[in-house]
Amino acid sequence: MEYSLTLSYVAMSRTASLSSRILFFSALASSLLWGLSAGAGESKLDSVQVDTNRRTYVLGDQVEISLENRRGEDIYLVGCQPYQVERFGEDRYLPLPGEDCVAEGEAQAVSAGETKFVFHPAKEHLDVPLRISVVYGIGCSPKRALSQARCRDFGTVRTPSFRVRLSLEEKP
């Protein structure tokens, strides 16, 4: 979809009032901003998505994580742990203790398409909202840790929240 505004500043005479010039530039600026915010397509950063296969799990289930790269170029994930599990608490999501990497490791290149990961919830994950967060780099130098790969840009994607229950009969 293409948005354009055809106005000609040249058509304005030199005697045009200041208010008509301001009106012209306001219309031009707002049409440009509207065209950008309406989006002629999805942004490159929005073309990476992550999701889980369900929203409710029973203890012992595997959480299947799907990372979809629709960028048309490789993205790079943290080498030691490509995703972070976060739990909701104190009015925000926080990384789970013990989920941090000890050594970053070489960034993992992920080609266009879908990549799968698996998370195995434990008892400490019961009955709290959880989500998966993935930090990725774009245009990175290969064979380096993500923090040192001189990436052109970075992005973060997150799943909707999900819960782990002791059984499906539990009431939310």
Rg (CA), the chain: 23
Whether residue 70 is found in the same domain as residue 88: yes
Is 171 among the domain residues?
no
Is 31 among the domain residues?
yes
Whether residue 74 is found in the same domain as residue 25: no
Cβ atoms within 10 Å, residue 56 = 12
Whether residue 79 is found in the same domain as residue 101: yes
The highest-confidence range among 16-20, 24-28, 127-131, by mean pLDDT, is: 127-131
Is 17 among the domain residues?
yes
- Quote the domain boundaries for residue 25: 1-41
Q: How many helices (H) and strands (E) does the chain have?
A: 1, 11
The 10s digit of each residue's pLDDT in 19-76 is 444 443 343 333 333 333 333 344 554 699 999 999 999 999 999 999 999 999 999 9
Please state, rounded to an integer, the average pLDDT across all residues of the chain.
Answer: 78
In the structure, what pLDDT confidence band is assigned to residue 170 with cuts at 50, 70 and 90? low
Lowest-pLDDT range, 28-42, 102-116, 132-146? Answer: 28-42
Q: Phi and psi for 47 in degrees, rounded to 5?
A: -90, 15
What CATH number does residue 129 fall under?
A: 2.60.40.1930
**C-alpha angle 59-56-171 in degrees, rounded to nearest 5:** 85
Give the span between the Cα atoms of 133 and 32, in whole angstroms. Answer: 33
Number of domains in the chain: 2
> Residue 95: pLDDT above 50?
yes
